[in-house]
Structure 1
Amino acid sequence: MKYVSTRGARDLGSFSDVLLSGLAPDGGLAMPESIPTVTPAQLEAWRALSYADLAYEVMRPFITDIPEGDLRRLLRSTYTEEAFHSPEITPLTPLGDAGPDGGGLYLLELSNGPSLAFKDMAMQFLGQVFEYVLEARGERLNILGATSGDTGSAAEYAMLGKARVNVVMLSPHGRMSAFQQAQMFSLQDANIFNLAVEGVFDDCQDLVKAVNADADFKARYDIGAVNSINWARVLAQAVYYFKAYLALNLPAGQEADFSVPSGNFGNVFAGYLAKRMGLPIGQLLVASNENDVLHDFFSGGTYHVRPADRVAVTSSPSMDIGKASNFERYLYLIAGADAVQTRGWWDEVGQSRPVALNGTPHWDAVQASGFRSGRSTHADRLRTIRTVFDTYGRLIDPHTADGVLVGQAYRRPGVPMICLETALPAKFEETVQAAVGQTPDRPARFDGIEQAPKRFQVIPNDVQTLKDFIAANLTPREPA
């Protein structure tokens, strides 16, 4: 399998090449030349597989440069009961019974990993495969990432102890929950660097892209990425859509719907990838908070980036994003893999101009893709958390509440609705306490983490300051 850029660059190399490179040289995102499909017979054969072996079947067509035995070993080392605290890895939990129509509301548990967020599902694999590829090539990698709350801790926990990897993680100063900040800033490992940027998540993301756009600097300091711009993240996340669907034991071809809290569009795009591969997904629901640029698009056909000063601070902060990077991958597929069209659209985005598809043939393709959307407010989240707790005895975090709210609004008779869990409630104690009047439990390993010594640095929203930090703290590549 070879990879291409959404903006036209053709041969980006193999999976291992795009794994280490992050953004394509032309600023686009890596995509496979083609998307392989699975048959109903294959799906049925996969039903009894362990999570790790299912991951192999889903991911193998995209990862042809790593020997079969090695890839199986990496996946089996990643998806263990010890790491994810469940033999199922991603348990599918019904909320109530299926009802007379056989539909049912389900919660897909994705937050039992090391950092208590769904990002662990892909990031733990990245930690394993980074180490494998770098060791094979005799190279090092300096990961530069941006986080709105959960990517950072998931990446840092995955890279702890990795001798060939350093992590420089940017986060919006003062815009994460106390637990999220403590998870990252309490890490004292020499290969972890936390930078709190005076701005919002989109500023952090733009700084990462600006450094990646400087090809000489990127090469000199071996800069890579773990944000969902990294194709490996999206591919690994597609696996749990297959796992959830197969856990339902539906008749061949019967659809299931998924509701996905979404800010940067990576998690829900992984679902779209699974659908394009042949998984019988009906609706893919994009659940937004008050920062509803994605809802604006899927409900009205216009995508307009929200500038930093208009990104609201909400009680589901990991979705406080005004520009969804992975949306470019979706536009690329909607355009029929037309990189020229995709570049034109994204140039409009880069110039803060709206991309309006309503009334065009491309809008027909959007509507046919199965995406629907909804938004929620702080009051909606509190009410949903309280209702789920009172009705089903289950505590959920505010992002998951966004997904449950939208999922309930779009339920169809006889069709299961699977709501993706985003994080454990312990990461957002203040909001959960406001909703149900009690503090959610947390794993014992995180007791008192907010009081632990913190190691981080505040920097302005300035690319040169970031480059100066990298140059002062990381070792450059030796000249050829």
Structure 2
Amino acid sequence: MKYVSTRGTGDLGRFSDVLLMGLAPDGGLAMPERIPTFTAAELEGLRQLKYADLAFAVMRPFIDDIPEEDLKRLLKDTYRPDVFHSQDITPVTPLGNSGLYLLELSNGPSLAFKDMAMQFLGQVFEYVLEHRDERLNILGATSGDTGSAAEYAMLGKPRVNVFMLSPHGRMSAFQQAQMFSLNEPNIFNIAVEGVFDDCQDLVKEVNADAEFKARYDIGAVNSINWARVLAQAVYYFKAYFALGLPAGAEADFCVPSGNFGNVFAGYLARKMGLPIGQLVVASNENDVLYEFFSTGAYHVRPGERVAKTSSPSMDIGKASNFERYLYLIAGENGEQTGAWWRAVGRGEPVSLSGTPHWDGVKASGFVAGRSTHADRLQTIRQTDQQFGRLIDPHTADGVLVAQQFQRPGVPMVCLETALPAKFEETVQEAVQRQPDRPERFRDIEKADRHSIVLPNDVQALKTYIREQLEKKV
């Protein structure tokens, strides 16, 4: 399987090449040259597979440059019950008789759904770098959960350094402590004076400097990395099969979304033949995606217009993975996608309403809703009272919006994003009690902090990266 850029660049190489690449040389995102599909009979053959075996079946067509037995071993080493605290890895739990289900994705090392892909990245990075005798310096941006998931996955990986950018003062106290308490020689936490989109833009600016990127072996773990999207597609298959539906019957999925990576993985699963009906995007007050799927206009928000909310991991004004979706809507036309994204870069809206492309959007299964602080408090409270299930604020956004789009007789699966312990202040406001937290994270807020604050300036960031790496030589 070869990969191409969403902006039209030709052959980017195979899976291991794009794994280490991050952004394509033209600034686009890696996409497979084609998306393989399963027949109905082939899907039935996947139904009873354990998670690691299912992951192999779903991911193998996209990863054909790693020997079969090696890939199977990497996946078995990744998706272990002792790491994810469940034999099912991603259990599906009904919320009473409501027709709603929770897909539990937050039982891994950092208590967030990002672990599902990041643990695989840790394994496959180490494997590819060993075989190539190379090193990688990961530059990432986080609005809260990607950072800790990446850092936990890369602990003890001698060939990998992690430089993780986060918006200064905009994560929950637990999220900050989870990242900044790490005192490891290959982990560098950088709090940027700005919002998440500023962090994301800095990552892209560094990647756009081809000389700097090559000299310092810069790679990516954000959902711009294709391996993350691919790994996340697996749990849509697992959840669908767990529902026990007849062959071909549809299920709907609702996904709290800011950067569009998690829900795009569902779209990938749908394109591969999984019978997904609706893909419901749940936004918070930063409702760029809601606006697009409601009106056809995609209009990014500058940093000063990104609201600080009680579901902070979705406080994003520009969804990076949306470019992959536009690429597919454009019929895999890189020239058209590049033109749209250049307009986005200029701060101009991209409007598809009234064009043939809007018909493609309507046929793609996406709908969207949004939530407010009052909504998520009420949803956390109701879910606790009615179903005895405590959920985090992002998952609450999903449950609220999922209820608006339920179809009679069609199960609606809500993707859990994090354990409520990561957002204690909001959960306590909703239910007047502290959520439980795993013993290993007790009093983590009291741990020593290891981070640096930098201005929103690419030169300052490059200087810091350069200085830290030169100390290691």
TM-score by length of 1: 0.98
Secondary structure of the residue aligned to 1:275 is: helix
Corresponding residue for residue 83 of structure 2: 83
Corresponding residue for residue 300 of structure 2: 305
Corresponding residue for residue 270 of structure 1: 265
Corresponding residue for residue 120 of structure 1: 115
1:240 is aligned, of 226, 235, 244, to: 235
Q: What is the one-letter code of the residue matched to 2:305?
A: R
- 1:58 Cα deviation after fit: 0.1
Q: What is the one-letter code of the residue matched to 2:55?
A: A
Corresponding residue for residue 37 of structure 1: 37
Corresponding residue for residue 173 of structure 2: 178
1:71 aligns with 2:71: yes
Matches within 5 A, 1:139-178: 139-178=134-173
Q: What is the one-letter code of the residue matched to 1:64?
A: D
1:218 aligns with 2:213: yes
Cα distance between partner residues in 2 of 1:7 and 1:46: 34
Secondary structure of the residue aligned to 1:10 is: coil
1:406 aligns with 2:368: no
Cα distance between partner residues in 2 of 1:107 and 1:94: 6
Structure 1, unaligned runs of 5 or more: 99-103
8 A contact 1:143–1:224 mirrored in 2: yes
- 1:2 Cα deviation after fit: 0.2
Corresponding residue for residue 3 of structure 1: 3
Corresponding residue for residue 333 of structure 1: 328
Secondary structure of the residue aligned to 2:71 is: helix
- 1:39 Cα deviation after fit: 1.1
Corresponding residue for residue 28 of structure 1: 28
Corresponding residue for residue 343 of structure 2: 348
- 1:476 Cα deviation after fit: 10
- Percentage of pairs with the same residue: 78
8 A contact 1:139–1:164 mirrored in 2: yes
- 1:42 Cα deviation after fit: 1.3
Cα distance between partner residues in 1 of 2:353 and 2:292: 9
Q: What is the one-letter code of the residue matched to 1:109?
A: E
Cα distance between partner residues in 2 of 1:372 and 1:458: 39
2:101 is aligned, of 68, 93, 106, to: 106
8 A contact 1:222–1:477 mirrored in 2: no
Corresponding residue for residue 58 of structure 2: 58
Cα distance between partner residues in 1 of 2:346 and 2:431: 44
Cα distance between partner residues in 2 of 1:70 and 1:152: 27
1:94 aligns with 2:94: yes
1:10-41 Cα offsets, whole Å, 9 max, x none, are 11001000000000000000000000000111
Structure 2, unaligned runs of 5 or more: none
- 1:300 Cα deviation after fit: 0.5
Cα distance between partner residues in 1 of 2:183 and 2:336: 46
1:369 aligns with 2:341: no
Pick which of 139-148 and 245-254 moved more.
Answer: 245-254
Cα distance between partner residues in 2 of 1:170 and 1:431: 24
Corresponding residue for residue 289 of structure 2: 294
1:187 aligns with 2:182: yes
Secondary structure of the residue aligned to 1:414 is: coil
Cα distance between partner residues in 2 of 1:419 and 1:81: 22
8 A contact 1:222–1:476 mirrored in 2: no
Corresponding residue for residue 323 of structure 1: 318
Corresponding residue for residue 230 of structure 1: 225
Secondary structure of the residue aligned to 1:474 is: helix
8 A contact 1:159–1:165 mirrored in 2: yes
Cα distance between partner residues in 2 of 1:97 and 1:429: 28
8 A contact 1:221–1:476 mirrored in 2: no
4+ runs deviating over 3 angstroms:
475-478
Cα distance between partner residues in 1 of 2:472 and 2:436: 45
Cα distance between partner residues in 1 of 2:97 and 2:39: 30
Matches within 5 A, 1:193-208: 193-208=188-203
Cα distance between partner residues in 2 of 1:143 and 1:311: 26
Q: What is the one-letter code of the residue matched to 1:76?
A: K
Secondary structure of the residue aligned to 1:269 is: helix
Cα distance between partner residues in 1 of 2:391 and 2:385: 12
Corresponding residue for residue 136 of structure 1: 131
Cα distance between partner residues in 1 of 2:342 and 2:453: 31
2:251 is aligned, of 250, 256, 261, to: 256
1:263-285 Cα offsets, whole Å, 9 max, x none, are 00000000000000000000000
Secondary structure of the residue aligned to 1:238 is: helix
- 1:477 Cα deviation after fit: 12
Q: What is the one-letter code of the residue matched to 2:94?
A: P
Q: What is the one-letter code of the residue matched to 1:462?
A: D
Cα distance between partner residues in 2 of 1:402 and 1:474: 41
Cα distance between partner residues in 2 of 1:231 and 1:201: 20
- 1:376 Cα deviation after fit: 0.3
Corresponding residue for residue 101 of structure 1: none
1:333-389 Cα offsets, whole Å, 9 max, x none, are 000000010001001000000000001000010000000000000000000000000
Q: 1:476 to 1:354 in 2, by over 3 A?
A: farther
Corresponding residue for residue 46 of structure 1: 46
Q: Over aligned residues, Cα RMSD in angstroms?
A: 1.0
1:224-275 Cα offsets, whole Å, 9 max, x none, are 0000000000000000000000111111111000000000000000000000
How many pairs were matched up? 473
- 1:97 Cα deviation after fit: 2.1
Secondary structure of the residue aligned to 2:254 is: strand
Cα distance between partner residues in 2 of 1:475 and 1:126: 25
1:114-158 Cα offsets, whole Å, 9 max, x none, are 000000000000000000000000000000000000000000000
1:145-189 Cα offsets, whole Å, 9 max, x none, are 000000000000000000100000000000000000000000000
